[in-house]
Amino acid sequence: MSTDHVKDPKPIRLVFELARADHPRLYDELIQFHKGTKRVNRLRVLAYDGLLAQSGVFAGMGRGSSHLSSASSAQEGNGDITNDLFAPAIDA
């Protein structure tokens, strides 16, 4: 990364469409919020939490953590934890 990127970081603008068929759990979470700032902020939090989990900062020990069998063996940069977030729902 060059020093220009460090001195003057530019914001990233994302525009995308999310269909329920693509990621039902993510869609169901985001549809709870009216479009706008609250929905964008929720997506930002989910993305950041996913990044922390993938980096091994936290293992996402919330509901359904027993399903994350690969969490204990995940290494930094390993996408197993993040990929499990989009797995089918766990029957309780």
User: pLDDT tens across 27-68, in order?
Assistant: 999 999 998 999 999 999 999 999 998 888 776 555 444 444
Average pLDDT of the segment spanning 71-75: 49
The pTM of the full predicted model, rounded to 2 decimals, is: 0.54
Q: Which residues contact 85 (CB under 8 A, 6 or more apart)?
A: 25, 50, 53, 60
| pLDDT of 65 | 46
d(Cα 36, Cα 11) in Å, to the nearest integer? 18
